[in-house]
Amino acid sequence: MNRVADGMRGATVVVTGASSGIGQATAEAFARQGARLVLVARDLGAIEEVADGCRDLGAETLALAADVTDAMAMTEVARQAAEFGGGVDVWVSNVGTGAVGAFHEVPIEAHEQVIRANLIGHMNDAHAVLPIFLQQGRGVFVNMISLGGFAATPFAAAYSASKFGLRGFAEALRGELIHHKDIHVCDVYPSFVDTPGIAHGANYTGKKLSAPPPVLDARRVARAIVRLAGRPKPTTMIGAPTALIRLGHAISPGLTTRAMALFLEGYFRRAPDAPIDTGTLFRPPARAGGIDDGLRAPAQRTGAAGLALGLGAVAILAVALRGRR
């Protein structure tokens, strides 16, 4: 029986990177649906905090400390999850980080760590759970990517490489699974989200980092993931900027990359100074980071700013295309 098709109650769901942001919001969303949860992060204390919150929501929850960059550790997570839940129905591969700064000024170790977490980590997740899915004959693997999977992100070169690579990996994996109609690989591409992720990433710019509006509520992303678990599909875009940037990049990659570079250069000139910081790139946070980071302005919470900026982006794209013609 496909437990996911019958609803989330009793389904076993694994969420990696669950100690803050989208991961925590996703864990809580599945908990409210009655799922059995396996929550994973690098620090046991941090992930236990989130697990306690999910237990308070009525969900049977197992918290595990593991690093997605460690393939053997993720194989053990998959084994424990299957034992805990009598199989694995949904695996949300959510870990993501970044290192912001000019490519040559960011230490190569930081670039390597971003690739390990954002790309190799997701591959480790898939490699660990896919044998379980194949044995069951079913399963949903949710890949958290971002709009960075469709368009390059100057001053975050390793992040860009990891997201482009992750999209290619997922497409290749779907090709290998074409004869397994009940095993799904689902990619999620949100635009900028209000989470501690920016604060947790490494910052080599010497400037305070933020996210451009409109900024999504992580709970909206979590709701989309829960829907995917019941009705899987290959690609889910969340937020108008993702669709617009995907379209613009498809039409003129050079134009979108140049526009993004100029925008970021302007932002760095205006932004207040901040210390260079590796964040949690090389070390886990000792405490859960929470879902929100206060990046959304009041107008954005009402959706007014998002609508205005979305219309503005459409106008800019139209002008750019007219110029090309």
Peptide bond just before 298 cis, omega within 30 deg: no
For residues 189 and 142, the answer to whether their CB atoms sit within 8 Å is no
Residue 275's contacts (CB-CB under 8 Å, 6 or more residues apart) are 206
Beta strands (DSSP E) in the chain are 12-16, 36-41, 61-65, 90-93, 99-100, 139-144, 183-190, 193-194, 202-203, 216-217, 235-238
Told to judge if 159 belongs to the known catalytic residues of this protein, a careful annotator would answer: yes
Please identify which residue in the block is written with the tokens 């949710």.
142
Q: Hey, is 282 helix, strand or coil?
A: coil
CB-side exposure of 175: number of CA atoms within 13 Å? 6
**Of 159, 189, 204, 267, which one is the catalytic site residue?**
159
Residue 135's contacts (CB-CB under 8 Å, 6 or more residues apart) are none
Which amino acids are annotated catalytic? Answer: 159
